[in-house]
Amino acid sequence: MDQRDIDLLSSSKLKYFFKLLERTSYQAQQPWPMAALIAKGTKIIVCAPNKRKTHPESQVCKDFSFGFHKPGTHAEICCLLSLERDFSLRNHDLYVYRRRNNGAGLAKPCINCMNVILSSTQLRRIIWSTGNEETPYEMMRIY
């Protein structure tokens, strides 16, 4: 993790993005309130809640390449499906948030979503809520 990553994790931009995601999570089908957004710098490109909870081995992520929305899609995939097929995600970041009764929860993308993200996008990094007060966010740098 370089200094830019460390600066991001303590920035007001990150707090603003996660506040927006918390609000968006209220649109998610209950009781699985999650939301994701894709941004480049301070510009939000797309923000979406999840459609409903799915098992990580479901058909949903396998259907991503066909470019149509299936019920049960996770928030990360909902964001990707909202974009034009030829939209370049180079230098963009993905933020993922899970709302719990007492605040944020762990929102690390599942293995299938992570596979889609790593194989089908050129995102720069993924940042997710942890539900831990001492380290409220974690990040994975991709490029």
92 has pLDDT over 70: yes
pLDDT at 130: 93
Name the DSSP class of 13.
H
Quote the pTM value: 0.81
* Averaged pLDDT score across all residues of the chain: 81
**pLDDT above 70 covers what percent of the chain?**
76
55 has pLDDT over 50: yes
38 has pLDDT over 70: yes
31 has pLDDT over 60: yes
* CATH of residue 64: 3.40.140.10
67 has pLDDT over 50: no
- Which residues have C-beta within 8 Å of that of residue 95, sequence separation ≥ 6? 14, 17, 18, 21, 36, 37, 38, 39, 126, 127, 128
Alpha-helix runs per DSSP H in 1-143: 3-9, 12-25, 75-82, 111-120
Total structural domains within the chain: 1
| Domain encompassing residue 76 | 3-141
pLDDT at 108: 93
**Burial category of 3 from C-beta neighbours within 10 Å (exposed 0-12, middle 13-18, buried 19 and up):** exposed
CB-CB neighbours of 14 under 10 Å: 18
